[in-house]
Every structure is written in C-alpha cells, then in structure tokens.
Structure 1
Amino acid sequence: MDVSKEIIEAVKDAGIVGAGGAGFPAHIKLNAKCEVVIANMAECEPLLFTNQALVEHHPDEVLQGLQIAMQATGAKKGVIAMKKKYEACKKALEGKVGGYENIVIHELGDFYPAGDEHVMIKEVLKRTMPMSGIPADVGAVVHNVETLYNIKKAYCDKKPVTEKFVTVAGAVRHPLVVKVPIGLRFAELLDLAGGPTVKNYILVDGGPMMGNEVDAGDAVTKTTSALLVIPEGTMPYISRKTRIEVMLNRARAACCQCRNCTDMCPRYLLGHSLEPHRIMRTVSYGIPDPETVKNSLLCSECGLCEIICSMGLSPRRINSKLKRLLQEKKIRFPKMNVERERFERESRKYPTKKLIARLGLYDYSHPIDYADIKIDAKEVKLMLRQYAGLKLLPLVKEKDEVKAGELIAKAPEGKPGVNLHASIDGIVASIDETSVVIRRE
C-alpha cells in the first residue's frame, strides 16, 4: 500500500470529519489530487478562540497534519491561512514553519466571513471557485486546523477522534478553551466556565452567526467548536427566537427592496448569481416554483444579510428553509463558472469589530486562555448522527463494557459516514435511535 492510501485509511479508521463546519468526512477530501492544501485558521466568527488556542499550544501537530495532508493529495504547497491580528499564533508558527518544506503563512484581513471556502480560496490563491463548486475544482483542498491536528494523531499516533477543543464563552463567569471528551453534556461545559451570568439566555453550539441553538442536556459532537451563552436582547438571541412564519409576514409587509442584503452578500460580491432581495420578494408572496428560487442553494448561510437589513429581516433563514425544500425535491444548482467578481468587493468586506458591535456582544469579546485541565467525565452521550452522512449503526449493546478509543458505531456499508469511538471507559448505559450513552462505573 502506498503512503497516500495508508494516510487515507488511517484517517477513515480514526473517524475524522471537518472539525469546524458541516463535518464532511476528511478521508474523502484527502482522496483527491490537488496543487495546494490550505489550513483554514480564519476563525472569523466572534467570541471563538478554539483554533487560536490549538495553534498556540500545538503548532507542531498542526504543521505535521498539514504535511501529511499534502502527502495524501500530492500537493506541492501548504498554506496556513490566518488573520493578521492573530499575533500569538503567528509567533508560535514562525518558530516552527521553517522546518517544514513548502509550507507558508498567508495573513488574512479582519473581516467576516473570511473562513468561507469560496472567500478563502479567492483571498489565498486569487482563484474563483465555480458556483456550486468545491475547492478541488481550482486545485485546492481546505481543512480546518483542528482537522489537521486529528490527521496527525490518526496517522502518526494511531489515535481515533475521541476529544474536542471547545470555546465556552459569552455570558459566563470564566470563559475558557478546553479539551473535552466527545459526548460531554453542555451542562458540564457550563459548570467548567462557572455558569451563566445572566438569567435569560440561549445556548448556541458554534458561533453567534451560524451556530445552532441547543439545550443543556445536549452533548459535544465532532463539529462543536464552541458553546456560547447568548443573553436576551442581543441580535443572535432575537433572531433565533423569531419564528419563520413571523419572518415571512415581516418580509411581505416591510421588505422595501433596498437590495442592501444583496449588495453586501459575500457570495454575490464574488460574482455568484445570488440576490437575496429578489428571493425575499418572491417568497413573501407565497410558495414559489422551486426553479425560480434555486439560486438560494448558493447561500453560505453566513447571516451577514441579517446584520445589514434595516428592517430586521433574515434572508439567510428564508434561504435555509428553501434549501431544505429544494434538496428534498433533489433540485440542484448546476456547477457554473463565475464570469467576474464585483468590482466593489474589496470595499465591502465587513469588519469583525463592526459585526461584534452590531450583534450586541462587545462586552463578551476578549481573548480567552486555554485551560489545560483533565476532564473526568462520568457519562457521555455520543450522537449517531453528528456530521455529514447517514445515521451510524451501533456495534455495541446495552451493558457492554467499552474502553476509550474502542469502535462503537460505523456507517452502513457503502454509504458516506465515519467511524464513532467511545470517548471514555465505561458501560453502555443505553442505546436508542439517536445516541449511545456510556457511563463510567
């Protein structure tokens, strides 16, 4: 077996998925030839410090993971794309990067959403991905830095993914970045951070812009980058508490077709055929013909349109609903080349500081330290669907004794998905359609 196949098999066996996004299986990305591998370290959502802490404390593992990804894909160049303001990360890497052949650092501006793959490819390589395209279409593969860390652990140390680096921030007493077992309940993460400092709040798994609202009883997955306590009165709180039916009624009554959401849309500025203001007009007058709104499939759901809209509307949420409907009908937007980017794109990059202020999260936006502590979890809840792909099939039954790192579920034969491993030693306490609960005796 050649080195590329060895790497891909090791990554597949370890159950590695994209650590910062939709959770696409990493071994599938590595099974493609490319010219350059980009380590995504933009971490452009406010309040998140997970990737920064990881790179500051584990620069060698990230660099080794990037080098291994280059070997697997045949890439001649590796790029660490990080914001210029991450000075501590740059200092940690600059002392190491010289020891790795053909790896360089590319500094990004401090704007949102610099971490979007289409935007990052344009910033780093000056290439434009096709609409509905992927980085491989322009000779690149993009991995989150924690994914690269996991690739190193899988290939060099033979360790599966059982832990996750997570930021716990927002309205908490002691914000921190910590490494925890996958499946740890969010309630325990809150306890680690000293608990909420406000009475009314929501919990968000991920960033304040694109993260999902969760309950304290839910658990850390392989894609959990943060647990944020978002207080009442802030824009992320209000947006998530507004029902989609109310949003549609508002769109019908209040959307003035000013086209600000379109003019500031990062995908539109790249030249994509996405005009949120037109979609809002079409949808507000009833359920449209799917073919007339299939451009919504081009939306990255970054949420910048919510920030821009002076009427408090959310084209992002409308697009998200439309995308689900279109996917159910198996309607796709065809892969098409972009004619040209909009000439005004550079002047319309949205500053992160402005975004934080608009969200109402300025008081919670400050650097967070990594807490190098051992988490003695008594119980974990491992979700059978926590990333792209079908629901996994359990390989264990109730009352089975398992060890941390033991394979407990896998994807159906021939279907997309990745392996799932026990994150603590213990007994299988329960199994249902959604999860496997392991309890330490």
Structure 2
Amino acid sequence: MRLDPFGQSYSTDPATVWRHLLDSGERVAYDDELDMWLIAGHELARTVLADPRRFSSATTLTPMQDPHADAAAILARLDMPPVTLNADAPTHTRTRAALAAVLATTSLRTEQRWADLVRRHAEHFADHLAHHLAATPWPDVDLVELFASRLPLSVLLDILGIPADDMARIAAWADNFAALFWGRLDDDEQISAANGLLALWDFCRDIVVLRAGTHQDGQPTGLIGDLVRYRNGDDNRLTLPETSALVLTLLIAGWESTAAALTHALEYALSDRIRWARLAADGHYASIHTEETLRHSPAIDAVLRVTTTDVDLDGILIPAGSRCLVLIGAANHDPGVFEQPGTFQPGRARLGQHLSFGAGPHACLGAALARLYLSTALSILARRLPNLTRADGFAHRYRTSASMRQHTSLPATLGPARCPVAHGQLPLVGQS
C-alpha cells in the first residue's frame, strides 16, 4: 500500500485515494517511502486510537519531513512541555483532566455556556460578508478568508479571554503550524513557520504568567483564568508551562481544524440550493449537515501514532518503535460501516460512528463546541444571504498536508434571488 500525501491526487481528491486504499484489501501495510505503517479501515483505526498503551501519541507533533538545520535550531528553543495532544499517561491523564474541568464538553453545557457568544460572532461576520458583497465592484468573495477562517478564531479568543486586538498576529503566527508538522515546506518556509510557532509559544507563556500573577481583586477572565484557578498554584495539578501549552493547543486545534471543517460544510451546502434553504429553516438539518461534513470530509484526516511494543494488527506484525499513520478519512469512508461512503448524505445510518474526533482517551474534548460553531455559522449565514452560491469555476484544492485537509479558497457569489423549491415546501432530509 502506497500513499503520497503531498501529491496532486491527495491535494485535490483525497476521497478517491482513500477508496483505492480500501479497495486494495490491504488495510495494514508498510510504506517504505514514508517509513510509516498505514492503517486504513474503520475497525482498525478505532482499535489504534483507543489503545494509547500500545500506540503512543508522544510524537504527534514530530514533523513529517526532516526540518532544515536552521528550522530545527529554532524548534530546539521551543521549551513547550507535552500536554493533551502529544502526551501519554500519566501526563496526558492529568492535563486532560485540567482541560475537561474548564471546558464545557457536553452538547447541553456547551449550548448553555457559549451559544449566545458564538451566535453574536457569527452574526457579526455574516453581516460583514454581506456588506462586503454589497460594496464590492466584482461579484466573488473568498469564504475562507472572510468567514470560515475569521469566525472560529474570533470566538476562540473571546472564550480564552485574549483581546481581539491580538487576532491578526496570532493568525500570522499560527497560519503555518499544520504545514510545519504535516506538510511539505521549502527551507525558507520552514524557518518562517518555526519562528512563528516560537513567537506564539512566547505569547501564550507570557499571557499565562501575567494572568497567574493577577491580584485576587482582579481575577483573570476566560478559559485562561479558569485554568489558572484550577491550577491554584499547585504544580502537581498543572505547571505554568503546561497551562501555557494547553492555551497554545486550544488556539491551534480549536482554530485551524474548525475553520477547515466550516469550509467543507459551506462547500457542500452551497453546491445545492435546497441544502442551503434547509440550513436557513431547520436547526435539525444544520446538525446533521454538520455531522455528515465531519464524516465525509474530516478536517484532520490522519493522525500519527508510534508503537510502544511489537503489535499484531489484523494479522500483521508491526515492530516496536514504528510510526503509524492512522487514516481517519479512509476509516470514515469504509463501505463496511457507511453505505455509499463517497456520497454526501446527511441523516445517513450510523452517522455517529465517524472517527473525526478520534476515539478512546484522546477523543477531542472540544467536539461539542466545534459542532456548535459549525451548525450555528451555517444557519446564520444561510438566513443572512439566502442567494449565496459557489462561484463558477470552483475547483477543489487543498493545502498540501498529510493530516490537515484545508481548502486554499472557497469563492462564492450572489445568485438570483428565487425560491429553490416549489410552493415554499422543503423536501424531507432523505430526499437529497
């Protein structure tokens, strides 16, 4: 089994690559060019993700390509400790407990705590997009630039308690994070991305130290304040560097992956006027459209694990110390679990079994918040701009990456204002 994660096919049509891998019948195989074991198929991917004892997450943030010497020297100065994303037990267990204590992790608590905030930000950016469309002398806009990328970061800064004035520089620092670890950059790009990551780490560390020193009469706000209070000066619960690392993790994971997922959801919604009309009128449809987007086009479609011991997986012996690329996208397109997996079909059977938020002890704690982002943003934008549609000539193009599936752009325009269905009656979900 071969995979070229940086090739033209994977950067334009990853689903076809996943189908070929699954159709080969070889669900566990060594790729000597990548020097990795590829894990395809739903059951095997879930097995690996749910077994941190044999499949370690410690190297999750190890670059796919050997970094340039100057970039490596910059990264060597990054004294960020491992936390939830790239740690194993007991560090993972302790830092995940800290994050779970301050996050709303259920749908109900997330709705109660952050629905109004997400709605306000979504309305603001929807209005901004509408005004831009009304004012521009040309008809097309890029939804990645003007909506999908800005909205999640704006909400996240508000939740963390970071001033909105910092948004531009945080975005600049974090923009190449995924490419640094999972992409293919030239030497200058690697150095620039490494410097950006170091600057972001310094920012997170400084703001946490500042908030931790705040006098009792001026308690720090947002999730940063919640983490500081959870820590309560006790390094056995959480150290200040670990607190800073959690903030950086939230910024990166909570922004880029959500922005990517929102763009995927917009692409499928805008390709069909009936879907767009449903989003404006039906909150349930917004939820299942979001869920099918997560299954069909996961923002994180591969994750890295390393075996801690020799492992027999599906009758194949994987030696200890082997890097394993778990193909989430292929797992979500396994025909043994999802009928006609290449078809975008909201409301399909077994939809909740997708692995886009992982599985086991490392399952994403921000899943409920991500779902709230997506469904709220889709509904509000569909109501605000009912005749928004994809621009002519749109073609899939994703940033080159072995893990993060991000559109380079999503051009949209205003179509004719007309009712997409007869008599104003929306068809049933199963009729798409």
Normalised to the residue count of structure 2, the TM-score between the two structures is 0.25
Q: Which has the higher contact order (CA 8 A, sep 6+)?
A: 2
Query: Higher helix share goes to which structure?
Result: 2
Normalised to the residue count of structure 1, the TM-score between the two structures is 0.25
Query: Higher strand share goes to which structure?
Result: 1
